[in-house]
Amino acid sequence: MISYTVWSEAGGVGKTTMSVNLAAAHARRGQRVLVVDMDPQDGSITHHFGAEHLRSDPDVDNIVRHMVERPKGEFDDLVVSAEENVDIVPGHNMLESLERNLTRAAQMEEDMHDANYRWPKEKQLRRVLADADVPDEYDVLIIDPPATVGQHIYNSIYATSNLLIPAELSAKGSQSVEGLRDVVDNIEETLGDIEIGVLGIVPNKVSDTNVQEEYQERLSGQEIPIAPVSIRERGSMLSEAWKNQVSVFELAENDDYRDLRDYEEGTLEKFDELAAHVTEQFEQPEAMP
């Protein structure tokens, strides 16, 4: 299964937007896609796909209950269909207290075992997805986490092993990109037993190609690959998609929405290319033993 977390420590760089449209682009390739929302905040992918009606009901079953081994039902019943071939596990307000819930669950589990037993808080999402046969049921798993490092990120990384990193190549964006190798190394060190694959940095909201080229040159000195595809500044089209709670592909295809301009169609192709690029990286033959 192709699995990755779309993450950057910088807020508002386009993680959720990229997750939505990559999910749709994978689906157009015939891949079955599951998106998991790990972001406790409003404005998450759940909202973007119009699946948030149960978010604030404290009694409803949700992914956090499954992570702390107190599910109220089956995993399959959490899954909502978002667009053709795109399913989503919606976010829930309990994600706000994920850290606390995991700590409490760990204490309870560890009290029931001998002194050396450790219940790994950071591996619970992976356990839930594996138990639900997600790797067999889906071709692609995409997780949309919050920006801040913590259990949301740790669980997302354990569940996917790979990161795709949107970056705004402005002064603000470049700072977070330049420290990226260190950030990834630190997470690897904290987690201890996982190697994080960085699929690439994807330049997003690109408006000035000169600035873009300058940064691209600076970043090429980094050990982190830059994806061969960048996404241009497309505020108008993307806010239209956000408002209507659809991907840009659905926006283009459905007559209920405004017609796209030619240059906006070009951005759809970029999302297609990005999904193809990501897919290729998982198709490379393993090194011969």
Q: Which of 7, 15, 86, 200 binds Mg ion (CB under 5 A)?
A: 15
As measured in angstroms, the least distance from the Cβ of 86 to ligand ATP is: 16
> CA-CA distances (angstroms) from residue 53 to 46, 49, 57, 93?
9, 11, 9, 11
As measured in angstroms, the least distance from the Cβ of 212 to Mg ion is: 23
User: Any idea what the Cα angle at residue 139 is, between residues 134 and 142, rounded to 5°?
Assistant: 75
As measured in angstroms, the least distance from the Cβ of 160 to ligand ATP is: 16
As measured in angstroms, the least distance from the Cβ of 154 to ligand ATP is: 17
Rule CB under 5 A: is residue 160 a binding residue for Mg ion? no
Beta strands 33-37 and 2-6, pairing class: unpaired
Q: For tokens 């594996």, what's the residue?
A: 130
Report 221-280 residues binding Mg ion (CB under 5 A).
none
As measured in angstroms, the least distance from the Cβ of 272 to ligand ATP is: 15
Q: What angle do the packed helices 151-160 and 98-111 form, to 10 degrees?
A: 70
> For residues 15 and 234, which CB has a smaller minimum distance to Mg ion in the complex?
15
Where do the H-state alpha helices sit in the chain? 15-28, 45-48, 63-67, 98-111, 124-131, 134-137, 151-160, 171-178, 180-191, 209-219, 235-244, 248-253, 262-283
236 and 13 in contact (C-beta within 8 Å)?
A: no
Report 119-148 residues binding Mg ion (CB under 5 A).
none
Contact of residue 205 among Mg ion, ligand ATP, none (CB under 5-8 Å per partner type): ligand ATP
Contact of residue 235 among ligand ATP, Mg ion, none (CB under 5-8 Å per partner type): ligand ATP
Rule CB under 5 A: is residue 16 a binding residue for Mg ion? yes
Contact of residue 133 among Mg ion, ligand ATP, none (CB under 5-8 Å per partner type): none
Q: Kindly list the residues in this chain that would bind ligand ATP in the complex (CB under 6 A).
A: 11-17, 39, 43, 146-147, 204-205, 231, 233-235, 238-239, 242
Cβ neighbours around 145 below 10 Å, total: 31
> For residues 107 and 207, which CB has a smaller minimum distance to ligand ATP in the complex?
207
> For residues 71 and 91, which CB has a smaller minimum distance to Mg ion in the complex?
91
> For residues 71 and 200, which CB has a smaller minimum distance to ligand ATP in the complex?
200
Alpha-carbon gap, residue 21 to 241, rounded angstroms: 10
Alpha-carbon gap, residue 53 to 61, rounded angstroms: 13
As measured in angstroms, the least distance from the Cβ of 236 to ligand ATP is: 8
Contact of residue 266 among ligand ATP, Mg ion, none (CB under 5-8 Å per partner type): none
Cβ neighbours around 60 below 10 Å, total: 17
Q: For the CA atoms of the chain, what is the radius of gyration?
A: 19
Closest Cα partner for 37 from 84, 116, 96?
96
As measured in angstroms, the least distance from the Cβ of 110 to ligand ATP is: 32
> For residues 16 and 124, which CB has a smaller minimum distance to Mg ion in the complex?
16
Applying CB under 5 A, the residues found at the interface with Mg ion are 15-16
